[in-house]
Chains A and B, each alone.
Chain A
Amino acid sequence: MWIVILPILASALRLATPLIFSALGGTFSERSGVVNIALEGIMVMGAFFSILFADLTGNPWIGVLAAIAAGMLTALLLGVVSIHLQGNQVVMGTAINILAIGLTSYLLQIIYKRFGQTDAISNALTGNPEILSFLENIPVVGKLFFAGLTPFVYLAFFAVGLSYYVLFKTPFGLRVRAVGEHPKAADTVGINVYKIRYICVLISGALAGIAGASLTVGYTAIFREHMVSGKGFIALAAMVFGKWHPVGALFACLFFGLADALSIQGSMLGIKIPTEFMHMLPYVATILALIGVVGKATAPAADGEPYEKGEN
């Protein structure tokens, strides 16, 4: 039995990892009041640029840094239009999603001179990290479970803890939440609403960028067109399902990751639910969460509303 279950759990963790990073990104952005449906597009950018730079430099970690930079730059576009110019955040998010897919496919053809996918990189971070290699020596669990985890899995859990600490235990986090709930009040007590929102959108871009890298450098070792296909939106769902809270988002992502793993390998456990319904689960569960069937999820009060400075 464990021979089947442990690898499925490891697979669930691997599948949940990109969702965790991206959902944390969404949480930062929306906690400060900026709706980020561009998570999908930012993940596409992160996925492509991490492979490109890992390929160029031969170092996968430089690929990850490139993904962070690409993610932050893309998020900056969203930030400028939706914070300074008070544009429609959803329109801008849609534009970024279209642009990201177009731009990466274009660069794929220009740089790699081929369609569909890049070459595989040889030094992807897909295995158990070396410093933790002792974990593989643990009987049963070692080979079946820990050997299947990537560095990104550990980083994701670390990012959840850090995000929780920053958002709920630091003065900065308090400011972020104030800006997202009541920007005018925050402005009145001297908090720079624009600055907080810019920082949060950039953090969101960095995290969604890492999410993209975890899909490529940390999983497939190549960039394929359409490989993100909706994962950014599942992350958005996880953020809502997790009630805009880092730990909630973590559990939502683990739940969605497990559903995904079971849809791939569930037949081994004798699960007869059609895979389509397993894929549907995150989205339906999120709608139910919004309705209040599984604990009511409520967005930050000023989420999605542009704020104009100096208005009293």
Chain B
Amino acid sequence: MRSDIKRVAVQLWLTLRFPLVSIVAGLLVGAILILIAGKSPIIAYTALFQGSFGGVDKIGETLFKMTPILLTGLSFSIAFRTGLFNIGGEGQFLAGAITAIITGWFFQDLPHLILILIMLISAIIAGGAWASIAGILKAKMGIHEVITTIMLNYTALYLVNYIVRAVMNPQILMGTKAEAHTVSLPDVARLTKLKDVFEIFGRSSVHTGIFIAIGCALFMYFILFKTTVGYELRAGGLSPDAAEYGGIKKSKNIIMAMGISGGLAGLAGAVNVMGITYYVAQSSTTPGYGFDGIAVGLVGGLHPIGNIASSFLFGILSNGARRMQLEGIPKEVIAIIQGVIIVFIASQYIIKIVYKKKKEKEIKREKLRAEQGNEGEVQ
């Protein structure tokens, strides 16, 4: 019994040590930058954690910040586990967001729950389809997905800008004056805010999207680790050729993984639109949730449950950033902390790889020694 506990603890430490070291490193660099800004890191970090934990409403706000990045984190993770680098979360997020607006607007006569379901599903399909362009090009023509997904991000940005201006604009649909954003979703197409049901959530913006996001994380855990499909996806990521030899189709795997990954990012876009913004605005830059998802996924160890933890952490950081700003600390410190965390995570993969390679070399050397030994005997 006791050894069991010890075993679990050791296992937990082995899994968590890399992310923890990275987070500590990020916070340390952040502390230095806060000092340079002439402020006290202790006051800053106290403000940060009070801003994120000091009361149910503060926690609600943290959960709100966590919602879209948990979904984009899952999106990145599932692709990465299959050996694909989906850097196109931004574009897929936008595809989902604008699709939710379109379906939400045109089907607004449907009952609430059915409408919500249609919006979510259509956004998943849109995000998935957008990502599948990269998936198909990779599977059929071997074109690297990093370049295609980057190109698709900006293509989506301008396509959405066009739709905002020329298709879904209030001027066109309602005859009012032109706006820099789409029509707003009617009440029936919005996700419920928790504060409207439970007063305790105060003024926080957390909405039912958080349940959708956590539900997706659990569902992805189930798919990845408890089904044949998940096994095939993971096998494809570990060693595509061996997987192919074992009867797993590489190209089918790639297209499916990109589809699921894009679907999750599209869902993130829909949930964000339905839960908080209610419209999509014209923009000169991509929204950023897709890039945040890369950080969330990497810190979460590419594991669905790990993603819940890491998105919560990034929720704390981005929620606390506002509070820190009130203390006169540049909120960019948070972005730098995030960047440093990713640098360290990237470097830790290296430690793992180097460690593994060293072991392989040792084995090789021993083999060589054994062979030479044999030769000696023959002579």
A interface residues (Cβ-Cβ under 8 A, vs B)? 35, 37, 77, 81, 85-88, 90-92, 94-99, 101-103, 105-106, 109-110, 226, 229-230, 233-234, 236-237, 240, 274, 276-277, 279-280, 282-284, 286-287, 290-292, 299, 304, 308
Please, which residues of chain B bring their CB within 8 A of the CB of A81?
A: 343, 346-347, 350
| A284-B335 in contact given A86-B353, A308-B357 (Cβ < 8 Å) | no
* Contact between A95 and B346, CB atoms less than 8 A apart: yes
* Contact between B137 and A291, CB atoms less than 8 A apart: yes
Least Cβ–Cβ distance between B97 and chain A, in angstroms: 16
From B155-163, B173-181, B187-195, B271-279, give the one contacting chain A. Answer: B155-163
**Chain B positions 20-76 with a Cβ under 8 Å from a chain A Cβ:** 33, 36-37
* Contact between B347 and A85, CB atoms less than 8 A apart: yes
Extra contacts besides A37-B150, A99-B340, A101-B335 (5): CB < 8 Å: A94-B87, A98-B291, A106-B336, A230-B154, A290-B137
* Contact between B146 and A90, CB atoms less than 8 A apart: yes
Please, which residues of chain A bring their CB within 8 A of the CB of B133?
A: 287
Please, which residues of chain B bring their CB within 8 A of the CB of A91?
A: 294, 298, 342, 345-346, 349
Q: A-facing mask of B104-116, CB < 8 A → 1, else 0?
A: 0000000000000
CB within 8 A of A106: which of B33, B151, B166, B286?
A: B33
Interface residue B77 (Cβ < 8 Å from any Cβ of A): no
The 4 A-B residue pairs whose C-beta atoms are closest, nearest first, are: A102-B335, A99-B339, A276-B162, A95-B342
* Contact between A283 and B340, CB atoms less than 8 A apart: no
Interface residue B221 (Cβ < 8 Å from any Cβ of A): no
Least Cβ–Cβ distance between B319 and chain A, in angstroms: 17
- Residue on A nearest B283 in the bound complex, by CB: A229
With an 8 Å Cβ cutoff, the count of chain B residues facing the other chain is 52
Least Cβ–Cβ distance between A301 and chain B, in angstroms: 12
Give the distance in Å from the alpha carbon of A62 to the alpha carbon of B240 in the complex. 50
Give the distance in Å from the alpha carbon of A308 to the alpha carbon of B357 in the complex. 10
* Contact between A276 and B33, CB atoms less than 8 A apart: no
Q: State the majority secondary structure of interface residues on A.
A: helix
* Contact between A230 and B155, CB atoms less than 8 A apart: no
* Contact between A103 and B332, CB atoms less than 8 A apart: yes
* Contact between A102 and B343, CB atoms less than 8 A apart: no
Interface residue B295 (Cβ < 8 Å from any Cβ of A): yes
* Contact between A98 and B147, CB atoms less than 8 A apart: no
Least Cβ–Cβ distance between B224 and chain A, in angstroms: 21
Interface centre among A77, A102, A237 (most CB of B within 10 A): A102
* Contact between A280 and B339, CB atoms less than 8 A apart: no
Least Cβ–Cβ distance between B155 and chain A, in angstroms: 5
Least Cβ–Cβ distance between B267 and chain A, in angstroms: 22
Give the distance in Å from the alpha carbon of A169 to the alpha carbon of B56 in the complex. 67
* Contact between A105 and B285, CB atoms less than 8 A apart: no
| A280-B155 in contact given A94-B294, A102-B336, A102-B339 (Cβ < 8 Å) | yes
Interface residue B18 (Cβ < 8 Å from any Cβ of A): no
* Contact between A35 and B347, CB atoms less than 8 A apart: no
CB within 8 A of B161: which of A226, A236, A276?
A: A276
CB within 8 A of B154: which of A95, A283, A304?
A: A283
Cβ contacts A to B, 8 pairs, < 8 Å: A35-B146, A91-B345, A91-B349, A99-B340, A106-B333, A233-B151, A287-B155, A291-B137
